[in-house]
Amino acid sequence: MKLLVNNKETELTEGNTVADLARQLGLPPQGVAVALHNRMVPRTQWEEQTLQPGDKLVIIKAACGG
């Protein structure tokens, strides 16, 4: 299934949830936020939030430093 992740076409090869996508992308267990169609998806809902072909997601990683 093809999705847009940070404006880049991405193929989700297994599963259909935000958690499946996070695992596929190797996202860290903390310091990451995901928005689906400009709405934040709480981490507690990643396992149950299903994705559909063409969904638009934004993934934000926390950064430290200055």
Q: Report residue 44 as tokens.
A: 């507690």
Write down the pTM of the prediction. 0.90
- Average confidence (pLDDT) over 59-63: 90
- Taking Cα atoms as reference points, which of 16, 31, 11 lies closest to residue 59? 31
For domain 2-61, give the fold. Answer: Ubiquitin-like (UB roll) (3.10.20)
- Average confidence (pLDDT) over 53-64: 92
Q: Give pLDDT tens digits for 30-52.
A: 999 999 999 999 999 999 999 99
Q: Give pLDDT tens digits for 12-23.
A: 998 999 999 999
**What number of other Cβ atoms are within 10 A of residue 52's Cβ?**
9
The pLDDT of residue 49 is: 97
Where along the chain do its domains lie?
2-61
Q: Over 70: is that where the pLDDT of 66 sits?
A: no
